[in-house]
Amino acid sequence: MSSNPEKSFGFELLFNISGVQITKKEDVLILFVHWYFIKNKFKCLGIGDSKIIEPTETGSELLPNGWNQSLNYSLRYVKEGKLYILIGVKSETDLMINLLRIEDHSVSNAQFSIDNVKQLQGPLEIMIPNYEGLLNILKQDLIKPLNSQTQCEVSTQTSQSGTERSGRDDDPLRVESQHRPAGSNIPGLRRNDPSRIGKDDLDPFGVSGGGMLFDPFANRGLRLPHPGLGIPGRLPQGSVPSGSRFDPFGPPDIENPNPRARLPDADHLFPPGFDDMFM
């Protein structure tokens, strides 16, 4: 695989300083990850998992002494004042890298096969021939997820601030922001306009009525003669307040609105052949 000096810039210098401590393949991968972090403006604060940055800690581009002496790897980094903890755990064939941002407990992870490392010494393209593929994994799986969450938070805060600055006039739920068609103030037009069904429910101070139920009698100039229309018999007097909307739960008796002239209900008669069933 041909070398790309721009992508591997700085690794040789870092390896010459810390490479003498390398004893196994996973050490090469951790050194590779550390080099990539330094390229992305991280600084190493040392080993461990302390979640507090001491005033004396300024960070370094070098790996601390003893960084590969434990069974697992634990390194602390800082970037733009935010603390990160990198944990490396080795399985039989892979090295799992977890990156935790302490501020909001965001976590990202990447997994590398230990067989990616071919040699413990030499140039980067000799030790890790497919290092460019590993760089892409570090970027997409380890760094980018945390950066995306930060950008999402900034975008959310910006959107909320924009909503506050826009004022109440842009609220689509406010009645004043609804654009009424020309001629909507003509008496009777608003009530019979199907496009305004339910619009008056948004205006608690409206005086023209309205609602989600469109009055089927409005188009032909008919109104319910009394609130009991549509059920057998009348409702008790005063059970429906005057002027309130009433949803009939039966077909209106248009032909015979006079309850005294109604025919008897069929249920009042005896069934055929059972005249003596109660005798």
Judgement on whether residues 129 and 229 belong to the same structural domain of the protein: no
pLDDT (0 to 100) of residue 148: 73
Same domain membership, residue 202 and residue 101? no
pLDDT in tens, 16-38: 999 899 999 999 999 999 999 99
What pLDDT shows up at residue 75?
Answer: 97
46 and 138 share one domain: yes
**128-162 tens-digit pLDDT:** 999 999 999 999 999 999 887 655 554 445 455 55
**What domain range includes position 49?**
11-149
Q: Are 120 and 100 in contact (CB under 8 A)?
A: no
Q: 77, 36 in Cβ contact below 8 A?
A: no
Number of domains in the chain: 2
Positions of the chain with pLDDT lower than 50, given as ranges: 1-2, 154-156, 158, 163, 165-169, 175-181, 183-184, 186-190, 210, 219-233
pLDDT of residue 7: 80
Residue 205 pLDDT:
55
Asked which of 126, 149, 172 is the last residue of a domain, the reply is 149
Greatest Cα-to-Cα distance within the chain, rounded to the nearest angstrom:
116
**CATH assignment of the domain containing 75:** 3.40.1000.30
199 and 126 within one domain: no
Instruction: Looking at the structure, tell me whether residues 113 and 16 fall in a common domain.
Output: yes
Can you give the pLDDT at residue 263?
Answer: 58
Does residue 80 sit in the same domain as residue 18? yes
| pLDDT at site 1 | 44
Give 137's contacts (C-beta < 8 A, 6+ positions apart): 110, 112
Backbone angles phi, psi at 2, to 5 degrees: -70, 145
Check residue 8 and give its pLDDT. Answer: 85
Q: Looking at beta carbons, which pairs linking 259-264 to residues 24 or more positions away fall under 8 Å?
A: 259/233, 259/234, 262/233
Distances (CA, A) of 87 to 29, 97, 108, 121, 275: 13, 6, 11, 24, 92
Q: Is residue 23 part of a domain?
A: yes
With 0.75 as the threshold, say if the pTM is over it.
no
